[in-house]
Structure 1
Amino acid sequence: MILISKYIVPKGYLGITLFPFMVLKTKSLKENKVLINHEKIHLKQQLELLIIPFFIMYTLEFLFRLIQFRNWDLAYRNISFEREAYSNEKDLDYLKSRPKYNALNYFRK
């Protein structure tokens, strides 16, 4: 389900996925197929990891990357979940052929 809220989406971002919702900053972004695909990849990741573990892993990895890179954007872009989403967001058929993952697969990339 897609929601529109400029208040929920953090400054500097266009959207955020909080299962089962995809929250976009503006209504016009609903037409951005690449962004929607990126967020759908996150929905799939969240489902596979049973939602709460996803957010724990995401947060811990972000903190680790922030210490590693000492740069917010670089840390964010290097989170394994984001790397998968950014690498495949333009492939609108990616989710049809995406292999099933478990928690350990995310850290093997």
Structure 2
Amino acid sequence: MKGKVIVSSFWTRFFSMGKAQAITIFPFILLKHPLDRENKVLINHERIHILQAIELLILPFYVLYLLEFVCRLLQYRNFTRAYLNISFEREAFRNERNLNYLKKRKLWSFVRYIRR
């Protein structure tokens, strides 16, 4: 599943508290700017999240994502550091430039990116 790409500055800002250029709300990839449709790295990053959500049957993905974010926020006391250390984000950032990553990615690969 690739996710349906939608350009919506409003919804992207709404769901990301104004902090993201793009966000995945399954099954949609919301982009802030029309030119981001051409950003293959950004789209690949969001498609990694689509696959993560499917693996976890969608709702548990978002619950775990938010729980891990809260734990990281308590750990680092910094929004950006907390966000960058969420296991789902670590996997997506580490592999976003590899446009073939989703073809060879193993099930539940995000688990390798969990830090204690």
TM over 0.5: yes
Aligned to 1:2: 5
Q: Which amino acid aligns with 1:8?
A: W
TM-aligned CA deviation for residue 12 of structure 1? 2.6
TM-aligned CA deviation for residue 43 of structure 1? 0.2
Distance of 2:12 and 2:81 partners within structure 1: 19
Q: How does 1:1-109 map to 2 (within 5 A)?
A: 1-10=4-13, 11-101=18-108, 105=111, 108=114
| TM-score of the pair, normalised by structure 2 | 0.88
Give the conservation status (yes or no) of the 8 Å contact 2:88–2:113. Answer: no
TM-aligned CA deviation for residue 106 of structure 1? 5.5
Q: Which amino acid aligns with 1:3?
A: I
Runs of 4+ with >2 A deviation: 105-109
Q: Percent identity?
A: 48
Give the conservation status (yes or no) of the 8 Å contact 1:38–1:89. Answer: yes
**Structure 2 unaligned spans of 5+:** none
TM-aligned CA deviation for residue 15 of structure 1? 0.3
**Structure 1 unaligned spans of 5+:** none
Give the conservation status (yes or no) of the 8 Å contact 2:86–2:114. Answer: no
| TM-score of the pair, normalised by structure 1 | 0.93
Give the conservation status (yes or no) of the 8 Å contact 1:15–1:25. Answer: yes
Distance of 2:114 and 2:74 partners within structure 1: 20
Q: Which amino acid aligns with 1:4?
A: V
TM-aligned CA deviation for residue 8 of structure 1? 1.2
